[in-house]
Amino acid sequence: MNSLLFQPVEPKKNNLPKDGARSRALIVFAFLSLGFTVISLRLLQIQLFEHEKYLELATTVHTVRKVLPPKRGYIVDCKNVPLAQSFLTYKVRLDGMNVQEPAITIQELEEFLGLEKNSLLQNFRRMDRSYLLAKGLSEEKVQTLEAFEKEKLRQWKKKKLPAEHFLTFEEDYSRIYPCGREAAPLIGYLDENGKGAAGVEKAMNEWLEGTPGEKWIERDVFGKEIAAYRGLEVKPVDGCNVSLTLDSVIQHIVEEGIDRVEKEFLPNGIMAIVMNPKTGEILAMAQRPSFDPNRREKWNIAFLKNKNLTDPVEPGSIFKIVTLSGILEEKIFSLDNSTINCENGAFFYGGKTLHDSHPYGMLSVREVVMKSSNIGFAKMGLELGENRLYHYARAFGFGEPTGMLLGQGESPGILYPPRLWSKLSITRIPMGQEIAVTPIQMIRAMAAIANHGYLVKPMIIKDIRNPQGKIIRSFSPVIIRRVISERTAKLVTSALVSVVSPKGTGAKAAIMGFTVAGKTGTAQKVVHGNYVKGKYISSFIGFLPAEDPEFVLMIMVDEPHGTQYYAASVAAPAFSYIGSEIAQALNLTPKCVPAQAIRIETEK
């Protein structure tokens, strides 16, 4: 019993951590405290100093900037007839993340949009949330697609599949050209991004395109627009409207006329221009082949450029108006009292023999022009001399662009300075060889004769108007310089009236009731530096009424096929029937005026 009472008691176990454990606990606590401190400080920093930055970032994640396209301005003719206009259409985009059963859905979309089979499926990407499916859609087409989307969502819900909107529609504008291929190379077209790529569309793009607007919108987690964001919206500013000097009625007459030439002679190409000689206003400009700007899928890139501005050719005898002007201005020869020996059709000079189409002997200067004697003009060139001939060619605007307001690409043509001429050049340039000109240069030169000796700048833009119709900029005719005196211009006109007389090469260019002044030209084509037999450019250029010209018309036919290729049989008749229609369109009053009615004071 005593042993039980006095049995030693064991001490209680110590529950406190030993030194090592305590250290580890302190370290963990310290790290946790430090972490919380860093996080707290970072939160404080964000709240106090970087609030705006992260607010902007959060806004960016949940809001999207939507571009609001402006309406591109109209291009209209001189009577306000639309030549190019824009109308409201729609773009549709596909959200790949929200597409279920893609093989079926994409195939059905291809059918709805008229796309080639599998063309869309090949480009389908799940991660692409804004793939452009199509543009230029009508409102009816959009409604059809909306109904299609609604039905797909219903089917997916029934199958317990995620059913979120996968089509997004955006307002857009499509460009149409009501006159189709008429004046298409002049008016131009847009590139894939809606920017002017050629013609007036390019030259006036800055005025036509307008200024885009913008709207900030909120989207949900699936990318679907849910609301405008805080009313932030800048409305687009529509483009200005551009009025041209072009007359769509005259343009249509010319287009139909060259269609007739094309059908009859099957040429490689045709170029035609109508100009008001007093102002330089272009009333019509056409070419074949051409293109329809509404049908991009059928374009041939070779037909897109405006060959009336870009493609210089040897003009042949129509250039003789320059040589004649120089001879008469310098008073070297008289129109009716001087004669030239045309050598019975063969003239040897500079080691080469120059031929006429018919053997002529002594001819007056007027007769040389009437019969278009190459030998007669070669001898005029020799009398005029290299420097003066070059001076008049430059004065009439050859060797430099006309400066017509049509963007890039106008050719200066080819006119070499006398130091680069060969011995033969002085006999060849006077008749339109060894020089290359564009149709716009050639018609401007003829217009100078019709305009009493004044050279004007070709003009296509009439004015620019804001979307409300107010004129904000207008363009006036520009006289560049006097080329020849009024007296010389009248003498040249008188000679050109003789060309269209029954005995002249341009007899078939005559128009009943009007006095026509004009010149034929049949130029042998140059290929790789050599004249090619059987390949010709047939041209006629003239104006009427000769006593008070209202328009100049030029027609150039490249390689007419068949038995006829001379300008007298190809281009001159075309001038007659096209010119007759234009005279009616301009309400010109026919008069029975003989050629002698244009009285010219000749030599005293």
Q: How do residues 67-114 score in pLDDT, each as one tens digit?
A: 889 999 999 999 999 999 999 999 999 888 888 888 888 888 888 888
Is the per-residue pLDDT at 477 higher than 90?
yes
The pLDDT, as a whole number, for residue 217 is: 74
pLDDT for res 329:
98
- So what's the pLDDT on residue 344? 95
Query: Which whole number is the average pLDDT over 259-281?
Result: 98
Q: Span 488-498, mean pLDDT?
A: 98
Mean of pLDDT values over 514-532: 93
User: Residues with catalytic annotation?
Assistant: 317
pLDDT in tens, 148-205: 999 989 999 999 999 888 898 888 999 999 999 999 999 999 998 899 999 999 999 9
Q: Are 489 and 452 in contact (CB under 8 A)?
A: yes
Domain boundaries, the chain: 63-68+88-174, 248-296+303-597
Closest CA to 113 of 85, 86, 144: 144
Looking at residue 344, its amino acid is: N
Please give the pLDDT value at position 128.
77
pLDDT grade for 297, boundaries at 50, 70 and 90: confident
601 pLDDT exceeds 70? no
Q: In whole angstroms, what is the distance from residue 452 CA to residue 485 CA?
A: 7
Task: Say yes or no to pLDDT of 388 above 90.
Answer: yes
The one-character DSSP state at 98 is G
Confidence of residue 597 (pLDDT cuts 50, 70, 90): very low
- 402 Ramachandran zone, left/alpha/beta (phi>0; psi -120 to 50): alpha
Report field, pTM of the whole predicted structure over 0.95 = no
> What pLDDT is attached to residue 216?
80
Residue 47 has pLDDT above 70, yes or no: no
Task: Using pLDDT thresholds of 50, 70 and 90, give the confidence band for residue 44.
Answer: low
What pLDDT is attached to residue 404?
Answer: 86
* Average pLDDT across the chain, whole number: 89
> Above 70 in pLDDT, residue 442?
yes
147: tokens are 């109904």
- 3-class DSSP assignment, residue 23: helix
Token pair, residue 558, equals: 């490249």
- Residue 309 has a CB neighbour count (10 Å cut-off) of 26
**Confidence class for position 407, pLDDT limits 50, 70, 90:** low
pLDDT at 243: 98
- Compute the average pLDDT of residues 558-573: 94
CATH of range 248-296+303-597; options 3.40.710.10, 3.40.50.2300, 3.40.50.300, 3.40.605.10:
3.40.710.10
Q: Does pLDDT of 221 surpass 90?
A: no
Q: What token pair was written down for 342? A: 């045309």
Predicted pLDDT of residue 586 = 97
CA distance 93 to 101: 18
Task: Answer yes or no: are the C-beta atoms of 116 and 110 closer than 8 Å.
Answer: yes
591 vs 366, which has greater pLDDT? 366
Question: What's the whole-number mean pLDDT along residues 12-36?
Answer: 64
Which residues sit opposite 272 in a β-bridge?
286, 555
In the predicted model, is pLDDT for residue 422 greater than 90?
Answer: yes
Lookup result for tokens 């930055």: 53
Is pLDDT at 431 greater than 60 in this prediction? yes
User: For residue 530, what pLDDT is reported?
Assistant: 87
pLDDT score at 33: 72
| The predicted structure's pLDDT at residue 485 | 98
Report the pLDDT value the prediction gives residue 21, as an integer from 0 to 100: 66
pLDDT at 3 over 80: no
CA 539/CA 318 separation, integer angstroms: 7
- Flag whether pLDDT at 299 surpasses 60: yes
Mean pLDDT of the region 462-491: 97
Per-residue pLDDT at 573 exceeds 60: yes
Give percent of the chain with pLDDT exceeding 70. 86
End-to-end CA distance of the chain: 176
| Across 451-461, average pLDDT | 97
Give whole-number Cα distances, 44 to 33, 41, 373, in Å.
Answer: 16, 5, 98
Dist CA 558 CA 288 (whole Å): 10
Q: Which pLDDT band, with edges at 50, 70 and 90, does 6 fall under?
A: very low
Q: What percent of the chain has pLDDT over 90?
A: 69
Pick the closest to residue 71 from 549, 466, 599, 525 (CA basis).
466
Instruction: Look at residue 186 in the predicted model and tell me its pLDDT.
Output: 96
**What is the tens place of the pLDDT at every residue in 57-70?**
454 445 677 788 99
The confidence score (pLDDT) of residue 502 equals 94
Element (H, E) at 443: helix 439-450
Mean pLDDT value of segment 7-31: 60
pLDDT at 43: 67
- Tell me, what's the pLDDT at 117? 82
Q: Which of 299-303, 319-323, 342-346, 503-507 has the lowest mean pLDDT?
A: 299-303
Q: Report whether pLDDT(604) > 50.
A: no
Alpha helix ranges (H) inside 77-138: 102-113, 119-123
Average pLDDT over residues 476-497: 98
Better pLDDT: 503 or 529: 503
